[in-house]
Amino acid sequence: MSQHKKHIEAANGQWSFEGIASDFDGHIKASVPLYSEGHQLICEVSDFFLPPSALITEIGCSTGQLAHCLLQHHEDRQDLRYVGLDTSADMLEAATKRVNADPRARFIENSVADYQWQTSSLVVSYYTLQFVHPRQRQLVIDAIYQNLEWGGALVLFEKVRAPDARFQDMSVQLYNDYKLRQGFSEREISNKSRSLKGVLEPFSTQGNLDMLTRAGFVDVMSIAKWVCFEGFLAIK
């Protein structure tokens, strides 16, 4: 097993983000196409949505890679505030170390479904909402919309299902081929899929758009796409 995959296995339907912080960064970059490029895109998009004293809220900040990018991108903005949410204590510890205790940043161990929202200028969910159970997902998007400033934005990146069975079959095979090129074995790919059953529940592109519309978002566009991974920008 290669270095970026050790300690990142789980039993059938038992995937968890606990206890994997030390190996998470390498694993996720090898697993998600254009992962780092997505971070850079979000930093550039954020330029349009951060008025004075703006608050950025990130759902599922993991080890703080995106937090670090955003804070570095806006290093001259001492008025900026950032809040990162995660349910894993070791992820939050890693995130705090990564931003070197930047006084603008605060990390909170909290489920997004239970979070008491503050009014934000920008909310980011980078491959996180797909792990929120579908029965709670709409409520989370509703809360985000209600607690965004007018003119503020949600940046939502998600794994997405294809619109029909033929395209879904193609998407799965293309993604498996991608992971094989990253050094994952067929056994590891199969085991990861089994561990995510009932844990990772992606919607289709249209399903995500419908969810955003129900919450109240009118201005929505796709800003990134790689087969079964997509980024949306929704403006209030």
Label residue 195 by pLDDT band (50, 70, 90).
Answer: confident
The whole-angstrom separation of Cα 59 and Cα 232 is: 15
pLDDT digits (tens, 9 = 90+) for 76-115: 999 999 999 999 999 999 999 999 889 999 999 999 999 9
The whole-angstrom separation of Cα 48 and Cα 64 is: 22
3-state secondary structure of 83: strand
Average pLDDT over residues 18-44: 91
193 within some domain: no
pLDDT (0 to 100) of residue 3: 44
Label residue 159 by pLDDT band (50, 70, 90).
Answer: very high
140 within some domain: yes
179 within some domain: no
Q: What is the mean pLDDT of the chain?
A: 92
197 within some domain: no
Residue type, position 226, single letter? W
Interstrand relation of 219-226 and 148-159 (parallel, antiparallel or unpaired): unpaired
pLDDT digits (tens, 9 = 90+) for 112-131: 999 999 999 999 999 999 99
13 within some domain: no
Tell me how many helices (H) and strands (E) the chain has.
8, 7
Measured over the CA atoms of residue 210, residue 208, residue 146 and residue 223, the dihedral's sign is: negative
3-state secondary structure of 73: helix
- Residues written for the chain: 236
Is the confidence at residue 139, as pLDDT, over 80?
A: yes
Structural domain range at position 68: 32-163+206-235
Query: What CATH number does the domain containing 226 carry?
Result: 3.40.50.150
185 within some domain: no
The whole-angstrom separation of Cα 28 and Cα 200 is: 14
Number of domains in the chain: 1
